[in-house]
């Protein structure tokens, strides 16, 4: 997929206030750790994740999606009357029906002929939504669109802790299937895309490409389809080691084609933002793709794996911290269970807000880029 008329105008993000460390999670797993004689610090050592964040109990995803989308629209400077599409693209949603996009649309006050719907594709939902909005812009169907999502990790993490402590038959090997669930965090992200003639940034989306290998669709799966309300008690099983190997293998195949489609030489990839899983995954991915981690910006150590919002939220924070410069060739590298890969190529020019350099995110306020 090649684009001549699509620009990325703004990213925005919102973070929960509550910080939960890996040490706190291990303290709650004391019954399991004592029974299996597991050493403290194991979770952070295995994943590189020292903390993640949680929303207040009972909060619906649409609440933060409205807030985050509003900030992205304001940052873009584009009148709401220009928005012809709204995609809500997180794994978490308010209800099975109607689409969470309906409440977000109502909260934003967008026009009545705006195309609205939900998209779900594990950790790639927002990237898939960006491609769909970009296609509508390129075809001349709309002038601007927004993709937004909010992930809530608390239900999964707390249900996993409860299950691990309750099941007295679990072995160390079986416990590994739950480790990925304990890395999940919460957050919200939004992206505004616009027609080139409407753009104030000139941040062109050049290329988008996808690859899939559904031979490995069973390596990571949750229970039955449920909404994210108070009654949700999700569980997830993940063969993390094999998923990492197979995901990186597919990403390597995809990246070769990505370079062909963009016409970029390997050394012309100036900056990257990737899906945030863990430090071992990041190291293996960059070794396999032949990239230097110095060109990447990561948040996984302090935000954990935040699902579909991980990559766009990391991009927003990275831009806020000055990771990108004018004329940078930027690769957005997404890998999700299934296994699916989405890669986007962006020619960056400028941000619409002043660059900041916060020392940490402990007290940072939500931002838009």
Least Cα distance to 126 among 145, 147, 107, 141 occurs for 147
| CB burial readout 193-212, b (16+ within 10 A) else e | bbbeebbebebbbbbbbbbe
Cβ neighbours of residue 217 under 8 Å, at least 6 residues apart?
337, 338, 339
More confident residue, 212 or 315: 315
The pLDDT of residue 212:
84
Inform me whether the pLDDT recorded for 83 exceeds 60: yes
Are residues 99 and 159 in contact, defined by beta-carbon separation less than 8 angstroms?
no
More confident residue, 221 or 69: 69
At how many degrees (to 10) do helices 240-262 and 172-179 cross?
40
Inform me whether the pLDDT recorded for 253 exceeds 60: yes
Lowest mean pLDDT among 140-154, 224-238, 299-313: 224-238
More confident residue, 236 or 54: 54
The pLDDT of residue 365:
40
Inform me whether the pLDDT recorded for 218 exceeds 60: no
**What is the CATH architecture of 1-369?**
3-Layer(aba) Sandwich (3.40)
Q: How confident is the model at residue 223 (pLDDT cuts 50, 70, 90)?
A: low
Rounded CA-CA distance 235/121 in Å is 17
**pLDDT tens figures, 20-50:** 999 999 999 999 999 999 888 989 998 999 9
Inform me whether the pLDDT recorded for 317 exceeds 90: yes
For the chain, where are the E strands, in sequence order? 6-14, 18-21, 51-54, 83-88, 115-118, 144-151, 187-195, 204-212, 220-222, 236-238, 271-274, 329-336, 340-347, 367-368
**pLDDT tens figures, 278-302:** 888 888 889 989 999 999 999 999 9
Q: What is the mean pLDDT of residues 74-89?
A: 97
Inform me whether the pLDDT recorded for 80 exceeds 50: yes
Parallel, antiparallel or unpaired: strands 83-88 and 144-151: parallel
Residues identified as active-site: 97, 123
For the chain, domain boundaries: 1-369
For 59-186, where are the E strands, in sequence order? 83-88, 115-118, 144-151
**pLDDT tens figures, 109-159:** 999 999 999 999 988 999 999 999 999 999 999 999 999 999 999 999 999
Q: How confident is the model at residue 242 (pLDDT cuts 50, 70, 90)?
A: low
The Cα-based distances of 244 to 29, 120, 241, 337 in angstroms read: 25, 21, 5, 10
For 74-143, where are the E strands, in sequence order? 83-88, 115-118
């Amino acid at each position: 997929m090649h684009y001549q008329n699509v620009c990325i105008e703004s990213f925005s993000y919102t973070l929960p206030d509550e910080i939960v460390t890996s040490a706190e999670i291990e303290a709650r797993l004391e019954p399991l750790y004592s029974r299996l004689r597991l050493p403290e610090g194991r979770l952070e050592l295995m994943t590189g994740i020292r903390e993640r964040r949680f929303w207040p109990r009972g909060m619906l995803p649409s609440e933060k999606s409205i807030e985050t989308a509003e900030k992205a629209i304001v940052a873009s400077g584009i009148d709401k009357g220009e928005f012809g599409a709204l995609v809500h693209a997180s794994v978490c949603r308010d209800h099975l029906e109607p689409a969470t996009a309906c409440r977000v649309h109502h909260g934003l006050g967008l026009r009545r002929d705006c195309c609205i719907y939900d998209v779900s594709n594990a950790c790639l939902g927002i990237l898939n939504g960006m491609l769909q909005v970009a296609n509508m812009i390129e075809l001349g169907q709309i002038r601007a669109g927004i993709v937004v999502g909010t992930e809530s990790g608390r239900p999964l993490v707390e249900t996993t802790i409860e299950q691990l402590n309750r099941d007295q038959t679990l072995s160390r090997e079986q416990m590994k299937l739950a480790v990925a669930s304990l890395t999940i965090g919460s957050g919200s992200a939004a992206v505004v895309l616009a027609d080139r003639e409407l753009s104030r940034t000139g941040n062109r989306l050049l290329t988008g490409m996808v690859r899939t290998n559904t031979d490995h669709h069973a390596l990571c799966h949750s229970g039955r389809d449920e909404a994210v309300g108070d009654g949700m008690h999700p569980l997830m099983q993940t063969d993390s080691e094999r998923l990492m190997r197979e995901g990186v293998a597919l990403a390597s195949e995809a990246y070769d084609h990505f370079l062909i489609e963009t016409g970029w030489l390997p050394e012309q990839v100036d900056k990257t933002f990737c899906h945030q899983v863990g430090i071992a995954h990041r190291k293996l991915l960059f070794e396999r793709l032949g990239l230097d981690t110095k060109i990447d910006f990561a948040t996984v150590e302090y935000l954990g794996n935040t699902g579909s919002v991980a990559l766009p939220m990391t991009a927003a924070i990275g831009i806020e911290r000055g990771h990108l410069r004018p004329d940078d060739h930027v690769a957005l590298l997404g890998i999700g269970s299934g296994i699916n890969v989405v890669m986007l190529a962006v020619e960056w020019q400028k941000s619409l807000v002043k660059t900041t350099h916060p020392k940490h995110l402990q007290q940072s306020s939500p931002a838009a880029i």
